[in-house]
Amino acid sequence: MTDYKEKFEKMRIAGKLAAQTLDMLTDNIKEGVSTDYIDKLGYEFIRDNGGYSAPLFYRGFKKSLCTSLNHVVCHGIPSDRILKEGDAVNVDVTAIINDHYGDTSRMFCIGEPSVKLNNLIEATYESMMRAIKILKPGIKLGDIGYEIQSFVEAKGFSVVRDFCGHGISTKFHEPPNILHYGNKNVGPDLKPGMSFTIEPMINAGKFDVKVLNDGWTAVTKDKSLSAQFEHTVGITEFGYEIFTESVKGYSKPPY
């Protein structure tokens, strides 16, 4: 089975560009900078490296990446909001290059995180990695959600239901939906050549979210903190490949 080899070579390039964008942003995400500035740096880096920022003009989105702060679950819109001590922000970058997409996000803390925030971030990252590590042909889609849900709920956190991971290759979002909750041994089989994201959104409080009037910003209903990480992965003959691994080893805070 080598017919996905060319596809995976392109996914590797797109994933690497998205990951390198987050690597580059890491030193710039600090107290006193606006989320618009992060957006501008991300846009320019992707452009200067031969790619294009997928969120820009995607379904009317007007920025190049998402910046989701504190109780924002996802799809936060960069603005003149200045990062300050105590903030936690998810930066979600999607690069298109050679018609292929790489989609990845990480959490960033401004100053020292509280114990509670740190626990949430650690659990969110760990849940994503646990789900990635079980990936191989023959397991079921539901196994992914089970891995994430069972892990974070045991710590008293909750899994957002209203947003999920997604197939990704020559389209930003394509089937299948990758739910971050669910039951073992349920759903379709994973097959070599599939590529999709795993991007759990984990809340410190209840899982309910609402979308603000801007049509994008999703926040926790109970105003509790939310965290997220995202990788784009591919299923190989015997296991998996992460396309969006940091080149600098910046997997989770502190960087």
> Where does this chain bind Co ion (CB under 5 A)?
92, 103, 197, 230
Q: Does 103 bind ligand MF3 (CB under 6 A)?
A: yes
What's the closest the beta carbon of residue 105 comes to ligand MF3, in angstroms? Answer: 7
Out of 37, 52, 61, 255, name the contact with ligand MF3 by CB under 6 A. 61
- In terms of Cβ atoms closer than 10 Å to its own Cβ (0-12, 13-18, 19+), residue 123 is buried
Contact criterion met (CB below 8 Å) for 202 and 123 = yes
Nearer to ligand MF3, 73 or 83 (CB): 73
Q: Does 39 bind ligand MF3 (CB under 6 A)?
A: no
In the list ligand MF3, Co ion, none, the entry touching 115 (Cβ below 5 to 8 angstroms by class) is none
Question: Where in 216-255 is the site for ligand MF3 (CB under 6 A)?
Answer: 216, 230
- In terms of Cβ atoms closer than 10 Å to its own Cβ (0-12, 13-18, 19+), residue 210 is exposed
What's the closest the beta carbon of residue 178 comes to Co ion, in angstroms? Answer: 9
In the list Co ion, ligand MF3, none, the entry touching 37 (Cβ below 5 to 8 angstroms by class) is none
Contact footprint for ligand MF3 (CB under 6 A): 55, 58-59, 61, 66, 75, 92, 94, 103, 197, 199, 216, 230
